[in-house]
Structure 1
Amino acid sequence: MTVRATLLHLGYEEERTGSNGKPLGGTLIVRAMNSRFTGGREVTPEGASDGLRVHGDACVTAFVQKSNYEVTTNGPYPETGCFEPPYGH
């Protein structure tokens, strides 16, 4: 079972936004991991990044790979929601 399927099975709903960017509901975002430069080329690691908004001012974020994982807590970022901006804040 995938990370997305597992969290949806537990009752979480995927976050949705309208065409104007206004939130329409849901608290979960699951996406591919951020790419990075390794060995002179851009590489996207295998795995998933997960963001779960547990309150208006609190998030649980994680990444899951076959050989590694990490879970952290943070507040939402104005630019990217639960995920840390990739190029600084």
Structure 2
Amino acid sequence: MKQTAAVLLALLAFSGSAFAAPEVINFKNKVTFPHKDHMAITGTCITCHAGGVGKIKGFGKEWAHKNCKGCHVEMAKGPVRCSGCHKWKD
């Protein structure tokens, strides 16, 4: 019973955190990530945040190129070229 309650509380906390999620995330590598738009498309945090709410475990260049670009290719929507995500010129 205690385990079930803990799981339910964790799920509630996880789902409730989406309301505090940022609309846009600006990374140091000149990538602007429209977080809110991606939330609307996926409908769940778990698509990217399988390890839980917050920062993505193992997130970095390799993760993004595999997961973000991979999803864009699979859905045939979104940028797949470097310049599609990285905006070096202001």
TM-score range, shorter chain: under 0.3
| TM-score, with structure 2 as normaliser | 0.27
| TM-score, with structure 1 as normaliser | 0.27
Query: Where is the strand percentage greater, Structure 1 or Structure 2?
Result: 1
Asked which structure has the greater RCO (Cα within 8 Å, sep 6+), the reply is 2
